[in-house]
Amino acid sequence: MHLRRLNTLLGHLRMAYSSSASEGVLLETINNKGVITLNRPKALNSLNLAMIRAIYPKLKEWDADPSTSLVIIKAAGDKAFCAGGDIKAVTESGKRGDRLAKEFFYEEYILNHKIATMRKPYIALVNGISMGGGVGLSAHGRYRVATEKTLFAMPETGIGLFPDVGGGYVLPRMRGQLGVFLALTGFRLKGRDVHHAGYATHFIESKQIPELEKALLDLKQPTSDVVDDVISQFHNQCQLDTDKPFILEDQEEHIDRLFAADTMEDICHSLQGDGSEWATKQLEILRKMSPTSLKITLRQLREGARLDIEDDLQMEYRMSQGCIRGHDFYEGVRALLVDKDGSPRWIPATLEEVTPEIVDDHFRPVQNDLNLK
C-alpha cells in the first residue's frame, strides 16, 4: 500500500513538472484585499521562476500598503493547489551551469520568508495537491485552510532532493517525530488528516471555499481577530469526517520511537529490529530513496528544530546548491521526469557509503549566500 502511494505521488510530480514555464499567476486587489490565483491547472499549478517573480513584489507592496487588509492565495481548478516547483528546469539549468539553478532556490526562499513574516493576515486556501513549492506558499502563512481534496506530501527524498521551502523549520515543529517520518518516507496525508498533522490550521468542505472567500472579501474591517473568527466559524461548522481517526493514529507511538535517532543507520536498525509489518514497509520505502537525501534531510530537520526561519532558509539554500553540485538530484529527475523508468541509480548507493564529508558538503557556506537577517 505504501509503495503504491509513493508511485502515485511520483505520478503527480510528473504531471506538475512536465509543462513549459509560463507566468501562470493572477494578482488582483478586490475590496482592498490582495488575491493571488495560481493559474496553471494543467500543470497542477506548479511554481516556476516567473510566478515567483510576479508574486514576491506584489506581496511586499500589499504588506506595506495601509489600505490592503489581508491576502488570500488560492489556485485554479480543484485538483491541485500547487504540486511543487519547476525542478526539471532547475536540473537542466544545473547541467548547463547557468544561473537558474541558483536563482530559482534563492528567490523562492526569499518569497517563503516574506510569507512567514507578513504583517497582514495571509490565508492559503489549499484545495487539492500541495507538495514541495506548494507547501512553501502555504505552510508559512498565518492561516492554512484544507479541504477533503487536500493532499499534503514532501516526497523529495525520492528525487534526490530534500524537503526544502522551509521544511526544515515546519516539519520538526509537528508533534513528536511525525515531521521526520513524513520527510523521510514521503508519506502523503489527505483531507482532515492534513489538519490533524498540523499543516492546516482549519478544515472545511471544498464546496465552501467560494463562500469563505466571499465572506473574507466582504469584510469591512478585517482585523486579525475578525478574520480568525470568520475562518474558525466555517471550520467549526464543518462536520465532514469529524469522527474519522487520524490515519497514523495507531502508528504515532511507533513513529516517535522508531524515528527518534539522529542517524539514518540507527533509524533503519530500529525499523529492522522492530520487525512488524508496518516497520518493514517503512524500511522498504526508505531503501528506495536517495541515501544522500535521507542523510541530509535528517540533519536538516534536527538542526532546523533549533533554528529560526531565516537561518533555516539559509541552511536550505546551501543544501540546494549542494544538491546542484551532486549527482542524485539529476538522477532522480531523470528517472522520474525524463526517462520515467522509476529506477534511479543513486550514487552513493547505500547509507553506509554516504560519508560525513558528503553530508557536510551540503551545509557549507556558498558564494552569494542567502542572508535574510
Residues involved in catalysis: 85, 133, 156, 164
Residue carrying the nine cell digits 526569499: 110
Q: Which of 345, 346, 348, 373 is nearest to 358 (CA)?
A: 348
Backbone Cα Rg of the chain? 20
Q: Which residue from 178, 131, 121 is spatially nearest to 305, judged by alpha carbons? A: 178
Which three cell numbers, joined as nine digits, stand for 139?
Answer: 505552510
Question: 3-state SS of 12-47?
Answer: HHHHHHCCCCCCCEEEEEECCEEEEEECCHHHCCCE
List Cβ neighbours of 85 (8 Å cut-off, separation of 6 or more). 46, 47, 48, 104, 108, 132, 133, 136, 165
Q: Which residues contact 128 (CB under 8 A, 6 or more apart)?
A: 44, 75, 77, 78, 79, 80, 81, 149, 150, 151
Find where cell 523549520 sits: 169
**In the numeric block, which cell numbers belong to residue 45?**
499549478
